[in-house]
């Protein structure tokens, strides 16, 4: 009821013309972690807040900083790559506003099946070949952090950069010994007999929870359109709460899966229903310590030249206002044992 009253008051304050003009372009790679934006469109949450959201599908988040800094997109959903910190160093108008994927992230280090008797612990990876999807991506950080727990560094292994979709072939051809994979690629590799799980990132990496994907906003646009930015965040966080209820097997799970299938995020219902969903925080909070540690890693790798304090990395002002209007998140399925999204 509190949420409904807040929304009625907000929408009532808008004129029809204002609602029509409030268009936001959001860029995201098509994946289950981006479904909250689709939920907001499909269920009319943005419309309720007087915002028109247009979703632009990105092939990868690699060009995201250029697109958002040029205001071709006002919001981009993607991983915290080295490109973000380099954008800040260039004074580009971009900031993290909220969490999208955080622990448990279900990122697993998969070792080739025929090496089961040779590689039994992380220490046994010394001298081996491991894949990451790119040098400036989060999973390269994850590999380094796993090795760190047993006194190894990236210099003790050979890292090859291979797109996730091609890793199964590399394992099958014995071109690599191990791979850091994200869902559904890790589960698929194990299911097809290409490898076995040696380690899960969440069991080893600190600071915890790990934050690997966020929403970025164009700060120039937000300063010029603060009310639109606030209304966008309100609609978005309503959708995030729907996602988290479905994540925990709530009464809306079938509805959210329908949206995922209908929107083309994942055509196979069984895949969505049986594989672990990306976790996130229902109030969008970002573990800044995890972000700072990621920044430190990129600096050590020589991928960035400058480090920034927490207040330069994350702006929660729009998020805080949305959460204040919506009130505390209350989990529907209190019997759920899943961590994350709570």
Q: Which residues contact 221 (CB under 8 A, 6 or more apart)?
A: 71, 74, 93, 229
Peptide bond between residue 104 and the one before it cis (omega within 30 degrees of 0): yes
CA distance 57 to 305: 30
- Secondary-structure percent of the chain, ordered helix, strand, coil, rounded to 5: 45, 20, 35
pLDDT band at residue 340, thresholds of 50, 70 and 90? very high
Maximum C-alpha span of the chain: 68
Contact residues for 32 (Cβ-Cβ < 8 A; gap 6+) = 260, 265, 266, 272, 277, 278
CA–chain centroid gap for 113, Å, is 29
Please give the pLDDT value at position 61: 66
Q: Tell me: the pLDDT tens digits for 177-188?
A: 999 998 888 988
Task: Indicate the domain borders of the chain.
Answer: 2-102+210-326, 108-203
Give the predicted TM-score (pTM) of the model.
0.88
What mean pLDDT is predicted for residues 161-165?
A: 91
CB 154 within 8 A of CB 303: no
Residue 19 has pLDDT above 60, yes or no: no
Q: Could you tell me the end-to-end alpha-carbon distance of the chain, in angstroms, rounded to an integer?
A: 21
Helix (H) or strand (E) holding 145: helix 138-148
Say if residue 274's pLDDT is above 90: no
More confident residue, 135 or 6: 135
Query: DSSP labels for 45-88?
Result: HHHHTT-EEEEEEES-GGGHHHHHHTTS-SEEEEE--HHHHHHH
Cβ-contact 38, 263 below 8 angstroms: yes
Supply the pLDDT for residue 94. 97
- pLDDT of residue 15 exceeding 50: no
pLDDT in tens, 35-45: 999 999 999 99
Give residue-wise pLDDT tens across range 205-253. 999 999 999 999 999 999 999 999 999 999 999 999 999 999 999 999 9
- Helix, strand or coil, per DSSP, at residue 216: strand
**Buried/exposed code over 87-117 (b: 16+ C-beta within 10 A; e: otherwise):** bbeeebbbbbbbbbbbbbbbbbbbbbeebee
Backbone φ, ψ for residue 111 (5° rounding): -105, 145
69-84 mean pLDDT: 94
Other CB atoms closer than 10 Å to residue 335's CB: what's the count? 7
CA atoms within 13 Å, Cβ hemisphere of 72: 10
- Using the 8-state DSSP alphabet, how is residue 23 labeled? E
pLDDT, one tens digit per residue, over 103-159 is 999 999 999 999 999 999 999 999 999 999 888 888 999 999 999 999 999 999 999
Q: Tell me the per-residue pLDDT of 248-270, one tens digit each, with 9 for 90 and over.
A: 999 999 999 999 999 988 888 98
Q: Which CATH architecture has domain 108-203?
A: 3-Layer(aba) Sandwich (3.40)
Cα(329)–Cα(237) distance, integer angstroms = 10
CATH architecture of the domain with residue range 2-102+210-326? 3-Layer(aba) Sandwich (3.40)
- Tell me what pLDDT residue 136 has: 83
Average pLDDT, the chain: 92
Q: How confident is the model at residue 337 (pLDDT cuts 50, 70, 90)?
A: very high
Query: How would you classify the pairing of strands 52-58 and 23-29?
Result: parallel
What gap in Å lies between CA 103 and CA 208, rounded to an integer? 8
**pLDDT of the residue at 59:** 72
């Amino acid at each position: 009821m509190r949420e409904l009253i807040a929304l009625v008051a907000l929408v009532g304050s808008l004129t029809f013309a204002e609602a029509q003009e409030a268009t936001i372009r959001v860029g995201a790679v098509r994946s289950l972690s981006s479904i909250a934006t689709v939920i907001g469109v499909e269920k009319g949450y943005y419309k309720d807040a007087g915002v028109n959201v247009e979703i632009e599908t990105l092939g990868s988040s690699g060009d995201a900083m250029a697109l958002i800094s040029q205001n071709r997109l006002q919001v981009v959903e993607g991983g915290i790559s080295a490109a973000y910190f380099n954008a800040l160093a260039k004074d580009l108008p971009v900031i993290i506003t909220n969490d999208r994927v955080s622990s448990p992230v279900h990122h697993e280090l998969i070792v080739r099946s025929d090496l089961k008797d040779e590689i039994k612990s992380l220490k046994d990876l010394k001298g081996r070949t491991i894949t990451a999807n790119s040098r400036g991506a989060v999973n390269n950080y994850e590999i380094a952090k796993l090795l760190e727990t047993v006194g190894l560094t990236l210099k003790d292994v050979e890292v090859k950069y291979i797109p996730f979709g091609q890793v199964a072939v590399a394992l099958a051809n014995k071109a690599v010994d191990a791979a850091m994979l994200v869902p559904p690629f890790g589960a698929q590799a194990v299911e097809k007999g290409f490898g076995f799980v040696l380690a899960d990132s969440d069991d080893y990496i600190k600071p915890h929870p790990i934050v690997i994907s966020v929403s970025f906003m164009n700060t120039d646009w937000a300063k010029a359109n603060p009310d639109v930015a606030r209304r966008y965040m309100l609609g978005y966080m309503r959708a995030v709460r729907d996602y988290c209820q479905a994540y925990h097997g709530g009464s809306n799970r079938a509805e959210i899966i329908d949206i995922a299938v209908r929107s083309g995020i994942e055509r196979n219902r069984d895949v969505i229903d049986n594989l672990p969903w990306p976790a996130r925080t229902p109030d969008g909070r970002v573990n800044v310590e995890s972000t700072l540690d990621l920044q430190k890693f990129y600096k050590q790798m020589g991928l960035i030249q400058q480090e920034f304090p927490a207040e330069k990395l994350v702006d929660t002002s729009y998020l805080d206002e949305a959460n204040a209007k919506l009130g505390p998140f209350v989990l529907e399925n209190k019997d759920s044992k899943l961590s994350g999204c709570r």
